[in-house]
Amino acid sequence: MARKKQIRTIGVLTGGGDCPGLNAVVRAVTKTALTRYDLTVVGIFDGFQGLIENRMTTLRPEDVSGILTQGGTILGTSNKADPMKFPVLLEGKTRLMDVRDQCLKHADENDLDAIVVIGGDGTMSAAIGLAEKGLIFMGVPKTIDNDLVGTEITFGFNTAVTTATDALDKVHSTASSHHRVMIVEVMGRYAGWIALHAGVASGADIILIPEIPYDLNAVCACVRQRSRHGKRFSIVCVAEGAKDKGGRCVVARRIKDSPDPIRLGGIATKLAYEIEKRTRLECRSVILGHVQRGGTPSPFDRTLATSFGCYAVEQLLAGVKNRLVVRRAGELAAIPLSQVAGKVRTVPPDHALIRAARAVGTSFGEK
């Protein structure tokens, strides 16, 4: 279906997991479009689900006033609403259906000329599927995991690292008081950016990330050595997707109707049991979980999200389409969505921060 060339109405949606800074982007998109270009902005509720079900609303300046500092998203979000694989109940059975034509119909009914889509790799994959049908998109990179290909940073990451670092700082006192090994599990899926940055920032003794498979014997040897040298506690920062030398991640559960059915989690509990059994040192596990997604976005994330949102609108008005706003070497740019969708940006094993951590004595669980 052919789309209008002149952009007068822009939709905006937030997809995937929630993240600090989403509201800052919605605010930037809306205010830039309304005040600078005199456009109409339509908020789409609950990610692509709102486009599928035709749940939208016109956004006014007062709708986005005061939301810069708020966590979460005023539009709602969903990580189960892939238009190419949307669960539909037919004859008592749930089937995954292609509902892209339905999305196009609702986009036309609301006069949407383009959509700013805020999300991660899964959200961008869904956008590509709709772009193939004629919709125009501009992506904004969102994820606390910082694992989107093509951009040096995503908004939400800085806030998540700050939250994780604060938690790690706090467990130092109880670990020291009780002479324990404290294992703190952070998010990140299959990338170790949060664990690496929070672990280094908090002075964790051991950092375990997916990119460097750990050896349990080496982890135990490290905490034993610290104990023998009078350091009666140890702090372990572990990414939820960290895996042992056998390549096994700990899976918390599987969700059948989700495009990404695997939910990682529980490795801290497993490590605490194994380390205590082997070393006879008292261990405790802490799983931070969704606390890393919540709360007020950091000043850095607010400014980054604002610049991303403004740039996304500017690019659309300049005739650019189906691209993702990114930051490279401190400068904003836009790259094709196809370069991002379905890909994961992992931590290079020779990353400068890994080298720095090793230089100050941090273990990554290697022999």
Q: Is 316 contained in some domain?
A: yes
Same domain as 103, residue 21? yes
Is residue 4 domain-resident? no
SS3 123: helix
The pLDDT of residue 258: 63
Q: Are residues 170 and 68 in the same domain?
A: no
Structural domain count of the chain: 2
Shared domain check, 354 and 261: yes
pTM of the entire structure?
A: 0.92
Q: Do 317 and 353 lie in a common domain?
A: no
Instruction: Report DSSP state, residue 41.
Output: E
How far, CA to CA in Å, does 254 sit from each of 24, 73, 86, 259, 287?
32, 25, 17, 11, 18
Six token digits for residue 35? 């005040």
Same domain, yes or no, for 150 and 34? Answer: yes
Do 43 and 162 belong to one domain? Answer: no
Supply 260's token pair. Answer: 């990404």
Domain CATH code at residue 275? 3.40.50.460
Regarding whether 354 and 205 lie in a shared domain, the answer is yes
Catalytic residue among 145, 205, 244, 301: 145
For helices 22-31 and 299-317, angle between their N-to-C axes, nearest 10 degrees: 40
Residue 41: the pLDDT is: 98
For residue 309, give both structure tokens.
């949102």
- Tell me, what's the pLDDT at 31? 98
Q: Residue 303 maps to which CATH number?
A: 3.40.50.450
Catalytic site includes residue 169: no
Domain membership flag for residue 3: no
Q: Does 139 lie in the same domain as 38?
A: yes
Q: Quickly list DSSP for 273-315.
A: HHHHHHH---EEEEE-GGGGG-SPPPHHHHHHHHHHHHHHHHH
Residue 239 lies in a domain: yes
Which one, of 313, 326, 262, lies nearest residue 39 by Cα? 313
Verify that 111 and 213 share a domain, yes or no: no
Q: Are both 15 and 124 inside the same structural domain?
A: yes
- Verify that 354 and 213 share a domain, yes or no: yes
> Nearest-CA neighbor of 301 among 168, 118, 167, 49?
118
Which residue segment(s) compose the domain that 258 sits in?
158-294+348-359
Residue 367 lies in a domain: no
Is the same domain home to 166 and 279? yes
Average pLDDT of adjacent 10-residue blocks, the chain of 367 residues? 71 94 98 97 97 97 96 92 89 88 97 96 93 96 95 96 96 80 94 98 97 96 88 92 87 69 84 94 92 94 98 97 95 94 91 98 93
